[in-house]
Structure 1
Amino acid sequence: MRTYNIAEGLNVNVTIMSNPYGLPLDALFAMAARINKKRAFLFVSKILGKHIPVNPYVSLLSGAALSLMIVADREEARRERASELLQDVLHALAHPEEAKQVYDKVMLDEITVRTPLTIIGFAETATALGHSVFHVFADGATYLHTTREFIPERTSVLNFDEEHSHAVAHRCYVGKDNSLMGNGPIVLVDDEITTGKTALNIIRDIHAKYPRDHYYIASLLDWRVPEDEHKVLLLEQELGIHIHSLSLIKGVIEVEGSPDLSDAISDPVLCDEQCTQTSIEYIYLDDIFNLVDVRSESEDGWINHSPYITATGRFGITSDQRREIDNSIETAAEQLRKHRISANTLCLGTGEFMYVPMRIAAALGNGVAYHSTTRSPIHAINTEQYAIQSGNSYPSPDDTSVMNFIYNVTFGQYEELFLFLERDVIQARIEPMLDVFRTKGFKQINVVVAAGNG
């Protein structure tokens, strides 16, 4: 058992039950206290590319690890090769300097599956993780991710709650070729499984509408206790199905106390002369990505008429589109490389829009760190061992009734920023976010919009 003193008054005891690959825990996650009555702490992933900056290839490999575990579990003929590649991937997760080489090696292998798979990533944290699981497969896979967004012109085919989250409602939209049809296995991807309730909720909803025999729950970390795992068995018996669980690390956690967060901080947003010296440029990637021309409606009543891009998987994509998506990402990266002014660059995804920016960041060259804005409210404490040492909040450009956060970006840490938006938004809605980044000492801020308003 290992005890993490997260904050004054709050300890989390972690007992590892299974670590079959011998992964060093400190390479996978750190801990932080979060603002949530249902759960007072957060495992802050060092490989996910969400809350803290990472080498983008490391994040892509975290999904590849889960893909290879699925292949090893399902494809006897490819089990040995998948296991070999998996060892390389897991080594690179702890040695980021080798991540690009290993990622290229995995992608050259052109992995396929005999039985089609449908992969679902959970919003917002696991949209990129789920997509990176999907993208390893050269054939036979479909991907879509759940979303918090409301799209009046589409009917959500799945609706379920994430019970421990601060933002519980999930929707799931699909295109005309419903990617949930068929009887192949469905793979549910999340960065972390705590109780498994979310996964069981969606399996129950899927099975009522699109029944099949096999489901996978794939995660980087699995903290379910025996009682939670028994619920999986009960659901298997009730529905007559098989549910396979895969994770890099399996353990249990015990929480002691509650945090005293009197020393928590939030960086002030004070625009001074330095802010006015930051150059801001808007770069529109029009005509690079295929679009889905639908509008969204936010809780604050704003209707955004800008299209979405198909490459995210929000409406479903298949392996047949993999090369097309790769080409679009490389074209976007080629355009953005012309705008780089520094070897010290931060690329930021926004909210659910994580995978495409992550791939572009990986293609921009050396000296690039990647992570994303988030809906997760986490306490920042400026101590060396604590995961989240600085943080800012601002109203989301997509929905001003929702607060967004950015963590671990300090003044002068980077020289330039590429801030990625999937869709165009009106200037007044993006200004609060830009005000935050104006205080960070960037010489250049590039606001990259994948889909303009036409």
Structure 2
Amino acid sequence: MAARINKKRSFLFVSKVLGKHIPVNPYTPLLSGAVLGLLLYREMGGEGAGILMDKLLDQAVHGLIHPQHAEEAYRELLAARLTLPHPVVFIGFAETATALGHSMYNIFAGGASYIHTTREDIPDLASVISFEEEHSHAVDHLCYALRPEMLSGSEPVILVDDEITTGNTAINIIRDIQAKFPRREYVVASLLDWRSPANIQAYRDLERELDIEITALSLLQGNIEVNGVPLLGADAGKDGNDTNDGVPVVTTYVTDGLDRLKVSSADSCGEINTSPYLKLSGRFGLDSGDNAAIDREVAAVAVQLRSLREGSRTLVMGVGEFMYLPMRIAAEMGEGVSYQSSTRSPIHPQHRPDYAVHSAAGYPSAGDPAITNYIYNVEYGRYDDIFVLLERDVPVQRIKPMTDILRGLARSKVHLIVLAPRQEAEGAADDGN
């Protein structure tokens, strides 16, 4: 548990299997999404579900509890080549569940599509659905499906979030989807489900109102009671080793064969970034037919990054919503690699054994300097190398506040890795800061 700096919700369950606020074995968050996929497979009556489930679930739970076995369990789930009885659409919630939703979707060998919501403003595109996450410090969710027809059928929609406390976010998106793309069946999947009896009844009331069915799946379900008021004036500040100024930051443009989407983003200061987005990150929609290309390019990038490692302990970081591809790349970079992502959630740090966030560092976001991002639980000397993966180029001055913090945390080097299409990266030289 940790205390949020948020008047709407004063607490946060800090997950050991999500890869957001705590550095983890990269196979652990991949496995957590895959286990949710197993629960969905059982719920929908996949072929041989009864026979297959016991072995796979036992192995998967063992892998979540014992991270050294997470890779083996994850690869066994992929090898099972599960296919649902009928097509489904997965939607992951930004920012924390973008990778969780992607890894849940990815466990299925066919018949599935995936998209995650976003807080990014892309003026060139129209959001096909929009809704609010009422308790969040950043309430608005957008959804830029390049193919709106992916939501216009009758397929069940699988909504994926890391934690459900009231269920209001799911209710909000269901209302918007049902108004635009009506269907019969919804599934809400999460690692944790803390809904009260009144919250559960709200789902039943919505079912009757909209003539739909809502199924809830989770790895852990229970009830919570929260007392106390957060210290709203507090903030996460800079944390690190200020004497470690000699650690270099090396910028490398790493090539891949993935398609780009040539659209621009706009931040709250009116600045436009024309660098293209990765088309298959999950933000714009993808389906099972795209997975082979992602697998191939993830492996190729991981080989390039593995050659840059100089120490035995490495941290690979995603940035904000860009979690899944860095997580997949980290998983193939060899032994001694941990993974986590930066976040925009403000949390109180306190260094004590029974508290989940021991250290914190805040800085202006590279995507929007009006937004503060945070790095949690990375303390000086724990990692030899730190790799930060970006899906698109950003001005050096925008990313410098983050890398300045990381250079005070790494023992020997910080690598800023910009993923770039081959023809663009050929003309970009490595740049040391």
Structure 1 length as normaliser, TM-score? Answer: 0.90
CA distance in structure 2 between the partners assigned to 1:181 and 1:244 by the alignment: 20
Q: What is the CA distance between 1:56 and its match in structure 2?
A: 0.7
Task: Determine which of 334, 338, 341 is the counterpart of 2:307.
Answer: 338
CA distance in structure 1 between the partners assigned to 2:172 and 2:231 by the alignment: 34
Amino acid at match of 2:365: S
In the other structure, the counterpart of 1:43 is: 13
Q: What is the CA distance between 1:310 and its match in structure 2?
A: 1.9
- Cα pair distance change 1:310/1:262, threshold 3 Å: closer
In structure 2, the residue corresponding to 1:248 is in which secondary structure? strand
In the other structure, the counterpart of 2:430 is: none
Amino acid at match of 1:89: A
* CA RMSD across the alignment: 1.7
Work out whether residues 2 and 356 of structure 2, in 8 Å CA contact, stay in contact via their aligned partners in 1: yes
- Tell me whether 1:117 sits opposite 2:84 in the alignment: no
- Cα pair distance change 1:262/1:423, threshold 3 Å: closer
Number of corresponding residues: 422
In the other structure, the counterpart of 1:19 is: none
In the other structure, the counterpart of 1:3 is: none
- Cα pair distance change 1:250/1:279, threshold 3 Å: same
Structure 2: runs of 5+ lacking an equivalent: 425-433
CA distance in structure 1 between the partners assigned to 2:410 and 2:303 by the alignment: 26
CA distance in structure 1 between the partners assigned to 2:234 and 2:169 by the alignment: 33
Q: What is the CA distance between 1:265 and its match in structure 2?
A: 6.6
Work out whether residues 306 and 451 of structure 1, in 8 Å CA contact, stay in contact via their aligned partners in 2: no
Work out whether residues 282 and 446 of structure 1, in 8 Å CA contact, stay in contact via their aligned partners in 2: yes
- Tell me whether 1:71 sits opposite 2:41 in the alignment: yes
Task: Determine which of 393, 415, 419 is the counterpart of 1:446.
Answer: 415
In the other structure, the counterpart of 1:32 is: 2
Work out whether residues 157 and 185 of structure 2, in 8 Å CA contact, stay in contact via their aligned partners in 1: yes
Structure 1: runs of 5+ lacking an equivalent: 1-30
Percentage identity across aligned positions? 48
CA distance in structure 2 between the partners assigned to 1:392 and 1:89 by the alignment: 33
Amino acid at match of 2:110: D
Work out whether residues 308 and 451 of structure 1, in 8 Å CA contact, stay in contact via their aligned partners in 2: no
Amino acid at match of 2:37: S
Work out whether residues 72 and 83 of structure 1, in 8 Å CA contact, stay in contact via their aligned partners in 2: no
Work out whether residues 4 and 230 of structure 2, in 8 Å CA contact, stay in contact via their aligned partners in 1: no
CA distance in structure 2 between the partners assigned to 1:188 and 1:79 by the alignment: 22
CA distance in structure 2 between the partners assigned to 1:282 and 1:236 by the alignment: 51
Q: What is the CA distance between 1:260 and its match in structure 2?
A: 6.4
Residue by residue, what CA displacement relative to the aligned partner does 1:406-453 show, whole Å, maximum 9, x if unpaired?
Answer: 001111111001101111000111111111111114311111112379
In the other structure, the counterpart of 2:427 is: none
In the other structure, the counterpart of 2:284 is: 315
Q: What is the CA distance between 1:178 and its match in structure 2?
A: 3.1
In the other structure, the counterpart of 1:416 is: 385
In the other structure, the counterpart of 1:60 is: 30
- Tell me whether 1:399 sits opposite 2:368 in the alignment: yes
- Cα pair distance change 1:419/1:312, threshold 3 Å: same
Q: What is the CA distance between 1:78 and its match in structure 2?
A: 2.7
- Name the structure where strand makes up a greater proportion of residues: 1
- Tell me whether 1:222 sits opposite 2:193 in the alignment: yes
Work out whether residues 266 and 380 of structure 1, in 8 Å CA contact, stay in contact via their aligned partners in 2: no
Residue by residue, what CA displacement relative to the aligned partner does 1:48-104 show, whole Å, maximum 9, x if unpaired?
Answer: 000110111011010011000000010253322134212211111001111111111
Q: 5 Å matches for 1:430-445?
A: 430-445=399-414
- Cα pair distance change 1:332/1:258, threshold 3 Å: same
